Amino acid sequence: MSASRNRTCRDAGGRTPVRRNASLRGRQGGYSLIEVIVAFALLALALTLLLGTLSGASRQVRWSGDAGRAALHAQSLLDTVGVGAPLQPGQRTGEFDDGRYRWTLQVSPWTDPLVAGAPDAPAAQQLYELALAVQWDDGGPRERLQLRSLRLAPPDLSGGVL
């Protein structure tokens, strides 16, 4: 190897000079204030989106529970109509759960639209349409359940309507 490769540069005092970047002398390591502010802003934005998503999910869970409970009340009411007393055309109203759920039941004779002109036999069984509406909270479009069903009533041999 050549001798020039092994030489080191020394100053007049025999010391090897240490080169330092002059721009780094006054600056310490770490983050600047603007970097910290941007990081906090991004964190706040991410938390806002996360909390908004969780809030929407909790509203949907509550709505689902309310709608499920309304459906159970409606099914229970429809199961009892015409069981203890004969079906009578008309309208009835009531409440479930201390007024949280309100219902309206409309009972009316039903005729088949395909055979609307055919005469009714006096001893024939009668079909009734049951239209049940259940509302909760303010009764808005998403807080309403409407059901329709048909119920077969035995013939009234005494001449009255059952």
21-34 confidence digits (pLDDT tens): 555 555 667 889 99
Cα 89 from Cα 130, distance rounded (Å): 9
Tokens standing for residue 62: 């509550």
Tell me phi and psi for residue 151, to 5 degrees. Answer: -130, 130
pLDDT tens digit string along 45-81?
Answer: 999 999 888 888 888 888 899 999 999 999 999 998 8
Cα 162 from Cα 108, distance rounded (Å): 11
Confidence of residue 132 (pLDDT cuts 50, 70, 90): very high
Looking at the whole model, is its pTM more than 0.85?
no
Contact 107, 81 (CB under 8 A): yes
Predicted confidence at residue 85, as pLDDT, reads 81
The vertex-86 CA angle with 78 and 149, nearest 5°, equals 30
Cα 104 from Cα 74, distance rounded (Å): 10
Tokens 């109509």 belong to: 81
Which amino acid appears at position 35 of this protein?
E
